[in-house]
Structure 1
Amino acid sequence: MHKEYFVGQGKKDGQVLRVKEQRKDRWKAYVHDTISGIAELDYTAMEEMAQHLDQLTKPPGSLGRLEKIAVQLAGITGSIKLQKQRKAVVVMAGDHGVCAEGVSAYPQEVTAQMVLNILDGGAAVNVLARQAGASVYCVDVGVKTEVKHERLLSCNVRRGTRNMAREAAMTLEEAYEAISVGIRIVDHLYQQGYRVLATGEMGIGNTTPSAAILSVLGGLPVIEVVGRGTGIDEEKLRHKAAVIERAIEVNQPDRQDAADVLAKVGGLEIAGLVGVILGAASRRCPVVIDGFISSAAALAAARMAPQSVSYMIASHLSEERGHQKMLDCIGLTPVLHVNMRLGEGTGAALLFPIIDSAAAIVNEMATFDGAGISR
């Protein structure tokens, strides 16, 4: 049996990604093959970069995170000759059956409407990506209603998750299939020359599964990690926490198995972003992590493939409660603190110019010897 993934429907992106399903665990095997291909960083290049940075006309370490990013990029690319690379934000979109429990301030149909807004270039992520000279690719991995647009990357695994407060959000096979979508999208973009990727998402209600993932994988009480999402009031916040607690009780996700957690209390777009992260790491590309939902995907990816963390850069600290705990669980430190909580990949897009600045410092700043300056 063949299964087709249509990447776009117009002339520009009209490419078909075709795969063969030869056995039931096809998707799981594909994901684990990708994980096995994630290499360690090049520590020799990192040491050379650190030494080079100390030769530049500045006090050692005085450029802070710029220097750490430069060292990380050297480890990822295996070179101290950093180049300004082609960049893209991958926005995974999906709907959530748990919205039936009244956990969001917005109706579910807003997901599809916002997907069209992103595809038309009118969303905040589009504006910030344009400022950074980056592209935005929007992927339908689980939107409930059919969306048609010539720029859409159409890879729908199922029309929204099931209501996790009553049953598993997905089957394990669907979760692995959604992860595989993310990996294949990375392969598609890599072939087009993109070398820096960022995670973005769109899905009404998706802070609910994100908080559930953090609670389970982080071993934290739900009340400590659940937040207001799109702006719910105190009463709805308590209700949202109760819904998450019920979902965890009903499904009993195995905290030692991130894929099981994704399937039972996760989301299709979150699983898709896990694939983006794993795929980027396997291609030796840095992947910029956005806010709370993207970090839930990063946490799951970190548990599935600890070596993938070396390829992640945390863009910012979200205003969503629990985000700092999420980053602590992964072992990431955010670069920016700008009080954002929009999602879409907006915070990640803001980090692109900083990555370019790190490369420019390495390539253009004079050394003490070259400038004839005494140490």
Structure 2
Amino acid sequence: MTIFASVAAFETALADLPGPDSEAQNAARARQAQLTKPAGSLGRLEEIAIFFAGWQRRERPRLDRGRAAIFAGNHGVTAHGVSAFPPSVTAQMVANFHRGGAAINSLSAVAGLELVVVPLDLDRPTADFTAGAAMSATECLDALNAGAAVVDEDLDLLLLGEMGIGNSTAAAALCARSFGGGAHEWVGPGTGVDAEGVARKIGVVDRALAVHTYAAASAFETLRRVGGREIAAMAGAVLRARQLGVPVLLDGFISCAAVAPLFADNPSIADHCVAAHCSAEPGHALLLRKLRLAPLLMLGMRLGEGSGAAVAAGVVRAALAAHDQMATFAEAAVSESL
């Protein structure tokens, strides 16, 4: 499926983002005011229900069909020793996903979600972005469209996750190029590298930023120069979901970093997104502040592969169930003076 036929088509779509249905939000807000509870007593659960009402364009949103889309890609920058694991682990973990043996398999199943795994040219890593662009324009467009292709119009929720050895280095470079700040503000241990490994990653990201200093700062150029196929795919999925009015649950540092270049071009891109959790990766808390997203959960997770988003999907289900199934004061013959 080709949604973004050209760079211009991608940029036009990013510039022209549909908003939520304010009438549906107002109706959901009015319903919340009539449910048998003190106003505001369910906290974020009430906000979630109203948020989903706006994007699903109905007073009583539902989660009949949710999809977890996990994208996998390999990175040429791993040649610099930025990960505790070799690039071969990416394909091995994809095989584990297909066998049903990973955390995301268990967590998506218990959350009642479809699981889609999309490996992207794992035998052909992106180029080393300390020497040039990670992807050609065609490769980046292909990745964006691979992400867009997983979004169906009848989805009630889309979760995004990833697998890609070396992608926390790419994510740090994306954040620094999108929001500024030195590499030291964005680089963390990723898969668990030691202090020497973190210092090596900082040096790699600093070199990449220097190499691409004079390149265009557009979302597309940032993604293709210092991103990765799986990261660009998540960006394409976020943009396509917005076009179709599908709410998105973002996972950790990497999936949120996929939104960073889009946000730098058009901050309203995050309006249909919910941050599932705040990762233990140090740069994630800063990134969430930049994206103006408050995480639903703080569990110290840093696995990736959509795991935090799958856990947070349970919170969304609870919010929508309470909103839909609770009685109103009139239905329950309860005084409204709670």
**Shorter-chain TM-score above 0.5:** yes
Give the 3 Å change call, closer, same or farther, for CA 35–218 of structure 1 in structure 2: closer
Query: How far is 1:306 from its partner?
Result: 3.3
* CA pair 96-77 structure 1, distance change in 2 beyond 3 A: same
Deviations 1:253-282 (A, max 9, x none): 657412111111111110000011111111
Q: Which amino acid aligns with 2:121?
A: G
Q: Given the alignment, which residue of 150, 155, 158 partners 1:185?
A: 150
Aligned with 2:71 (options 68, 73, 92): 92
Cα distance in structure 2, aligned partners of 1:55 and 1:128? 34
- Percent identical across equivalent pairs? 38
Partner of 1:13: none
What is residue 92 of structure 2 aligned with on the other side?
113
Q: CA-to-partner distance for each residue in 1:97-139, whole Å, 9 max, x for gaps? A: 0000000000110001111111111111111001111111111
1:166 aligns with 2:115: no
2:32 aligned to 41, 48, 53, which one? 53
Mark the CA change 1:184 to 1:37 in structure 2 (over 3 Å): closer, same or farther.
Answer: farther
Give the C-alpha shift of residue 299 in structure 1. 1.7
Q: Is the 8 A contact 1:289 1:298 kept in 2?
A: no
Mapped contact 1:315–1:347 kept (Cα < 8 A): yes
Q: TM-score if structure 1 supplies the norm length?
A: 0.85
- State the 1:180 CA deviation: 1.7
Name the counterpart of 2:255. Answer: 294
Partner residue in 2 for 1:209: 170
What's the counterpart of residue 332 of structure 1? 293
1:338 counterpart SS class: coil
Q: Secondary structure at 2:120's aligned position in 1?
A: strand
* TM norm structure 2: 0.94
Give the C-alpha shift of residue 302 in structure 1: 2.4
CA RMSD after TM alignment: 1.8
* 1:269 counterpart = 2:230: yes
- Deviation >4 Å, runs of 4+: none
Q: 1:82 is matched with which residue?
A: 61
Contact 2:186-2:283 within 8 A present in 1 as well: yes
**Could you report, residue by residue, the CA deviation over 1:215-262 in whole angstroms, capped at 9, with x for unpaired residues?**
111111211111000000001111110111011111226574121111
Match 2:280 to one of 300, 316, 319? 319
The residue aligned with 1:353 is 314
SS in structure 2 of the partner of residue 334 of structure 1: coil
Name the count of aligned residue pairs: 336
Match of 1:142 in 2: 121
Q: Is the 8 A contact 1:202 1:343 kept in 2?
A: yes
In the alignment, what sits opposite 1:65?
44
Query: Greater share of strand residues, 1 or 2?
Result: 1
Aligned residue in 1 for 2:187: 226
1:362 aligns with 2:327: no
2:108 pairs, out of 100, 104, 129, with 129
Unmatched runs of 5 consecutive residues or more in structure 2? none
Give the 3 Å change call, closer, same or farther, for CA 64–94 of structure 1 in structure 2.
Answer: same
Between the two structures, name the one with larger relative contact order (CA 8 Å, sep ≥ 6): 2
> Structure 2 CA distance, aligned partners of 1:247 and 1:199?
26
Distance 2:260 2:43 in 1: 25
Secondary structure at 2:115 match in 1: strand
CA drift of 1:368 comes to: 1.9
How far apart, in 2, do the equivalents of 1:39 and 1:308 lie? 10
